[in-house]
Amino acid sequence: ADTPSPAPENLPLPPGRTGLPLLGETLDFLRSSRDFAERRRRQYGPVFRSHVLGAPAAFLLGPDALQWIFAGEGKYLKNRWTSGVRQLLGANSLALLEGEEHLERRRLLAPHFSYATMRGFVPAIESLATRHFERWAALPGDFTLWPAMRELAFEIALSLIFGQDRVDVPFLMRHFQAWTAGLFVPLAVNLPWTTFGRALAAKKAMITYLDELVAERQKRTEQPPDLLGSLLRHREGEEPLSREAIVEELQLLLFAGHDTTVTATCNLMLQLAQHPDVLQKGREAVAGMEGPLTLDGLRAMPYLVQLIHEGMRLIPPIGGAFRVTTRDVVYNGYRIPKGWMVPVTIRMAHSSEHWPAWERFDPERFSSESNEQRKPGTFVPFGGGPRICLGQHFAMVEMSVMLALLLKHYTWELVPGQDLSYILVPFARPRSGIQLRLRRRD
Ligand code: HEM
């Protein structure tokens, strides 16, 4: 679709409207991006313009459009973060690097995130998850799943990075939460009493602490088999990463690899509690599981992946992202000027006409036959193209381990009368945080 037309400047802009001065249609968009896009799709078709979050925007809907957006990274599109996020994430971290620098950093990090590398992390994930689940099961009454899962996922992310090192988990967790709270404020005002100001202070404390941990490690001659060791180990023909870059990368990984898996796992546990037939099938899938979990053992239970995929289809942990055009481009006969925003509409894709009765939780959608027939661009929980999620294998292995243990050893019930209506931003979750009672079943 990106073939330069003879005179692109004569092509029309996509149909649509730009709303109020300055605000544009932002408020409507923030209320529910899915309803927002769906209403305009009906009125204007799958390509329309708007004005959201301070910039003119071109919405391009449908699987082919998504593929076009993913393929455009570094060519006619680059990713775009709000100014708050730019200040809170390190400018030197993967998420903010662009073009050739981004590709180079990806090449450096990719081997640490390959599926095969995950083999070594399974025992640590199993032992941490078991410790937390046992604690939940021993509670006399019910508890709120969301914050409990956040603690567990944070510890797992730390163990991926620091392995056996002694890390002050409560200290990091406290600063980390203040820092992430700042990532999603609508207006980034740096004053001591604002959420954003506190987030910047927390970032400083966290960076100082992480820097000490990395410096301590650099003194060792042998690096252990964890992520930090692997980042510090020098490889033939490669510039070593600076300590500053490593610290910023660690901070990014703690962020990207944490609330995402929490969202997916908590929402899936909720769906399973509400769908006893599916839960039963899940239990049958893990019935033969014995001894410590391994990557091969997990692979032998493909229904786990079906459950996780359907959970993320129904409620994608990251509902969307943004790109911005780096030059004038043409899409399907429309001109999209340089500097326009182009949303990556993941939630829209997962609820499109390619998913009949999309609101129904049904893991059979991901049976092997259905997988073969699926159109590319209709299931994209991890994004696509050069910016596809770096941690997707880690996330899948982590969630599979948790799910296998939960299905095999525990039962859980929802506390009646809780408010299960959803908040969508920053991560889709029920207002109650999911109140549960969890018990051992064997
Ligand atoms: C990027 C989803 C877990 C690290 C992304 C993107 C998505 C995504 C959609 C692309 C954003 C964009 O296009 O701008 C998810 C989901 C997860 C998950 C659904 C879990 C269920 C993880 C984990 C890690 C991780 C566990 C690391 C340990 C990253 C990084 C990027 C990224 C570093 C940026 C990649 C780049 O800019 O090149 N993730 N993620 N993610 N993810 Fe994940």
Kindly state the tokens that stand for 342: 């182009």
Ligand 1 atom closest to 344 (CA): 13
Mean pLDDT of 44-52: 94
Residue of the CA atom closest to atom 25 of ligand 1: 391
Q: Which residue has the higher pLDDT, 258 or 132?
A: 132
Give me the pLDDT at residue 237, please: 64
- Contact call for residues 365 and 373 (beta carbons, < 8 A): no
Give me the pLDDT at residue 83, please: 74
Give me the pLDDT at residue 193, please: 81
What is the C-alpha separation between 69 and 76, in angstroms, rounded? 9
What is the C-alpha separation between 425 and 199, in angstroms, rounded? 18
- Contact call for residues 361 and 271 (beta carbons, < 8 A): yes
| Strands of the 47-52 sheet, one edge to the other | 47-52, 55-60, 341-344, 321-325, 77-79
Q: What is the pLDDT of residues 386-426, one digit of tens each?
A: 999 999 999 999 999 999 999 999 999 999 999 999 988 78
Amino acid at 135: R
pLDDT band at 285 (very low <50, low <70, confident <90, very high): very high
Most confident by average pLDDT, 19-23, 242-246, 366-370? 366-370
Ligand 1 atom closest to 105 (CA): 38
The distance of Cα 155 from the centroid of its chain, to the nearest Å, equals: 17
- Contact call for residues 23 and 52 (beta carbons, < 8 A): no
Residue 282 predicted with pLDDT over 80: yes
Q: What is the pLDDT of residues 187-237, one digit of tens each?
A: 777 788 888 899 999 999 999 999 999 999 999 988 887 889 888 876 656
pLDDT band at 28 (very low <50, low <70, confident <90, very high): confident
ipTM entry: 0.99
Give me the pLDDT at residue 224, please: 86
Give me the pLDDT at residue 158, please: 92
Q: What is the pLDDT of residues 334-358, one digit of tens each?
A: 999 999 999 999 999 999 899 999 9
Per-chain mean pLDDT for the chain:
91
Q: Quote the ligand 1 centre to 343 CA distance (angstroms).
A: 16
Q: Quote the ligand 1 centre to 383 CA distance (angstroms).
A: 8
Mean pLDDT of 99-104: 88
Mean pLDDT of 69-74: 94
Residue of the CA atom closest to atom 26 of ligand 1: 257
Decide: 262 in ligand 1 pocket, CB within 6 A: no
Structural domains of the chain, ranges and CATH numbers in brackets: 1-91+319-380 (3.30.43.20), 100-314+388-442 (1.10.630.10)
Give me the pLDDT at residue 339, please: 94
Residue of the CA atom closest to atom 34 of ligand 1: 95
Residue 1 predicted with pLDDT over 70: no
What is the C-alpha separation between 88 and 201, in angstroms, rounded? 10
